[in-house]
Structure formats: structure tokens, C-alpha cells
């Protein structure tokens, strides 16, 4: 591009130089700015730099100038994201199992572009993506986007659903039959994204792991199940399900040692009432979907928590323990 044409981009290049090369601890002098612009085919004089920076400031850019010797040095002040906030975003991307390794690296590079080259190096120091357990389904991002489009347009979706086989291959469920559902929400639970939907076939609310969906498309049919979802609290729905496994919903009584108060609050929230049993124990009553994962959670808490009712749930717990005893020859 000819130098005369580049002059039209002078203000944009100047702002980008300040964004890339400066932050709270790194400034750039007028001559450095002139040199950077020259490397981009743009000629500039000191007086024009002052005028341009004033224009950018009037536009809303937070450019801080400090007099150094006979000239000024400049740096960007406030940015849309602080470094600490960007570090949180990088941590979230790294720890998210549903984001593939490839996409994690792409997203982190984009996050690095939101700060200076110096602070970007601090973000790079956090990156340990290679050893994290990640999903292998690259289409999840498009699936989530399409689900939101379906919700916004009040349309149903259809998709195939798969499980992983012992030889690490995708096996379509129900022989590859397409699921037809009305999407009503997406939730994040135990490091996975789940679609919450009204299923055409069962006429019930069901949930599906988004990363296990294949060939997801919108249909021209209007959504169903509005009445079911108007009375559904999504947060309560996910809280009742351990690992998002379905099971018969029961009102379960738990006797807990006092030291396990935090465990109960972390799982069920601060609103659940505690009833004192004795000096060392309290009781809580919670609504849960009784499943194998729920019993596994109880077992994992050792002697700190035990199910006291209802009797049929206690009996199921005993059956689980009996099977474990048989498996381990106890």
C-alpha cells in the first residue's frame, strides 16, 4: 500500500500501537511512536502526534501522558479488561473440559490480544492446556450456538446422540435414530454443558450432554413443553441431580456430623434448614433424584453423613453397599 494511502490509517495505527506496546508499567515516547508508524509506511511529526493523541482522548481512549525530559511518554490507562480479569478468563478456558485443546489455544490467543504484549506474556505463563482432560468434539461451539438460535426462534431441534465404546469409538444411541426435542435452556454442571429440553417421544423434560450431539439441526416445528418449563427452576433442577443422572425424585433425610455443614451448603445452598439432632449431629431434608451417583456421593462422605429416610431409599443404599461388599469380597 502506498504511503499516501497509509496516512488515512494513521489514527488507527497509533491507537493500536498504544494498545499493543503500553500498559501501566510500560510507556512509549513520541520518537518511538514516530518510528513505529514509519515502519508501517506512515510519516508523522511530533506536533501531529500530540494532535492525534488529543483526538483519541476526546474519542474516549484513556491515554495517559507524562512529561519526560523535553518530550512526553504515553501509555494506555483503563482497558475493557484488567489483567486479573483476563487471568480468570484464561483459567476458565484451561479448566473447561468441554473446550477442545485446539479451541483452548485459539481462545487464549484471542484473550492475549485484549492486553499489551508485555502482559500477554504473563497470561502465557499460566497456559498448561496440553495435560488437561479435554473433549474431542470440536462441533460443541456450533451446537451451543444453534441451541440458542432455536430457543430465540422458538423452534425444535433434532440430533443424533452417542456414547463412547470400550474401543474409544463413538456409538450412536438407538441405532442412529434422531432425537426431536424442544430446547428450553443450557446449563453448566460438573464441567459439562447440558441441554435441558422437552422430548417429543417421552413427553418429559430430559437433559443431554451437548458434546455428545451429532448432526444437530433446527427444524421448522414450533417448540412444545412450555407449561412444563414455566414451573421449572433450572438451578433447582440441576442441584437435585448428581452428575446430571436422572432418578426418581425423593425427599431424603440426611443425618450429618457438624463438620459436614459446609459440604451440605456447598451442594444444596444456604437456604436448607439444619435441625439439631444432638451435640455432634444435625439433620437436613433435601429433594434429590435418587441415582447411583447420589449413593456414590454419600459413600464418599464416609461416616460423616448417613441416610435416615425414607425407608425405601435406605434399603437401596444397603443394596449398593451389599453389592460393593460382594465385588470386593468383604
Same domain, 94 and 57: no
Q: Are strands 275-276 and 213-222 parallel, antiparallel or unpaired?
A: unpaired
Query: For the chain, first and last CA: distance in Å?
Result: 80
- Do residues 164 and 223 both lie within one domain? yes
Q: Which of 111, 131, 151 is the last residue of a domain?
A: 131
Does 68 reside within a domain? yes
Assess if residue 236 is contained within a domain: no
Whether residue 36 sits in one domain with residue 67: yes
Q: Are residues 227 and 144 in the same domain?
A: yes
The structural domain count of the chain equals 4
Res 312: pLDDT: 93
Average pLDDT of the chain, as a whole number: 85
Residue 276 CB: number of other CB atoms within 10 A? Answer: 10
Containing domain of residue 122, as a range? 83-131
Check whether residue 111 and residue 62 sit in a common domain: no
Does 204 map to a domain? yes
Query: Helix (H, G, I), strand (E, B), or coil: what is residue 151?
Result: helix
Q: What CATH number is associated with residue 33?
A: 1.10.10.10
* Site of grid cell 438407538: 174
User: Are 223 and 273 within one domain?
Assistant: no
Looking at residue 129, its pLDDT comes to: 45
62 in a domain, yes or no? Answer: yes
Q: Is the dihedral of CA 149, 155, 156, 159 positive or negative?
A: negative
Q: Examine the fold and report which residue of 204, 231, 258 is the final residue of a domain before the chain moves on.
A: 231
In a domain, 102, yes or no: yes
Per residue in 251-274, pLDDT (tens digit) is 999 999 998 898 888 778 778 889
Claim to verify: residue 171 and residue 200 sit in the same structural domain: yes
Same structural domain, 202 and 248? no
- Non-local (6+) Cβ contacts of 322 within 8 A are none
CA angle 74, 61, 116 (to 5 degrees): 60
Instruction: Verify that 127 and 144 share a domain, yes or no.
Output: no
pLDDT in tens, 288-324: 888 888 888 898 899 999 999 899 999 999 999 899 8
Domain assignment of residue 97, yes or no: yes
Say yes or no: 224 and 172 in one domain: yes
Q: Full-prediction pTM beyond 0.85?
A: no
Q: CATH code at 175?
A: 2.30.30
Domain match, 222 and 248 both: no
Collapse the DSSP code of 204 into the 3-class scheme (helix H, G, I; strand E, B; otherwise coil) and give the result. coil
Q: Do residues 222 and 151 share a domain?
A: yes
**CA-CA distance, 31 to 165, in Å (whole number)?**
63
Per-residue pLDDT of the chain (330 residues; tens, 9 = 90+): 455 567 789 999 999 999 999 999 999 999 999 999 999 999 999 999 999 999 999 999 999 999 888 888 999 999 999 988 998 888 888 777 777 778 888 898 999 999 999 998 888 755 554 445 566 666 777 888 899 899 999 999 999 999 877 677 888 999 999 999 999 888 777 667 888 899 988 898 888 888 889 999 999 899 998 887 877 766 666 665 555 556 678 899 999 999 889 888 877 877 888 999 999 999 999 888 888 888 888 988 999 999 998 999 999 999 998 998 888 876
Amino acid at each position: 500500500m502506498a504511503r499516501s494511502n497509509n496516512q488515512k490509517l494513521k489514527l488507527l495505527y497509533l491507537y493500536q500501537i498504544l494498545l499493543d506496546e503500553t500498559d501501566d508499567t510500560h510507556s512509549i515516547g513520541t520518537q518511538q511512536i514516530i518510528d513505529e508508524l514509519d515502519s508501517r509506511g506512515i510519516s508523522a511529526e511530533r506536533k501531529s502526534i500530540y494532535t492525534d493523541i488529543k483526538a483519541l482522548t476526546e474519542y474516549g481512549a484513556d491515554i495517559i501522558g507524562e512529561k519526560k525530559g523535553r518530550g512526553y511518554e504515553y501509555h494506555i490507562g483503563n482497558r475493557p479488561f484488567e489483567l486479573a480479569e483476563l487471568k480468570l478468563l484464561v483459567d476458565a478456558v484451561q479448566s473447561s473440559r468441554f473446550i477442545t485443546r485446539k479451541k483452548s489455544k485459539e481462545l487464549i490467543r484471542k484473550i492475549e490480544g485484549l492486553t499489551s504484549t508485555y502482559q500477554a506474556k504473563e497470561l502465557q505463563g499460566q497456559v498448561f492446556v496440553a495435560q488437561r482432560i479435554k473433549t474431542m468434539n470440536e462441533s460443541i461451539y456450533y451446537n451451543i450456538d444453534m441451541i440458542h438460535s432455536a430457543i430465540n426462534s422458538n423452534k425444535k431441534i433434532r440430533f443424533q446422540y452417542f456414547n463412547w465404546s470400550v474401543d474409544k469409538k463413538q456409538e450412536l444411541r438407538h441405532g442412529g435414530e434422531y432425537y426431536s426435542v424442544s430446547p428450553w435452556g443450557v446449563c453448566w454442571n460438573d464441567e459439562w454443558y447440558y441441554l435441558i429440553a422437552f422430548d417429543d417421544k417421552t413427553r418429559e423434560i430430559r437433559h443431554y450432554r451437548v458434546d455428545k450431539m451429532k448432526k444437530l439441526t433446527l427444524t421448522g416445528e414450533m417448540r412444545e413443553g412450555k407449561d412444563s418449563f414455566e414451573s421449572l427452576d433450572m438451578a433447582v433442577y440441576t442441584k437435585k441431580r448428581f452428575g446430571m443422572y436422572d432418578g426418581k425424585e425423593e425427599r431424603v433425610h440426611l443425618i450429618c456430623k457438624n463438620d459436614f455443614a459446609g459440604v451440605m451448603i456447598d451442594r444444596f445452598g444456604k437456604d436448607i434448614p439444619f435441625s439439631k439432632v444432638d451435640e455432634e449431629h444435625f439433620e437436613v431434608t433435601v429433594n434429590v433424584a435418587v441415582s447411583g451417583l447420589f449413593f456414590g456421593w454419600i459413600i464418599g462422605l464416609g461416616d460423616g453423613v448417613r441416610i435416615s429416610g425414607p425407608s425405601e431409599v435406605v434399603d437401596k443404599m444397603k443394596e449398593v453397599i451389599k453389592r460393593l461388599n460382594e465385588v470386593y469380597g468383604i
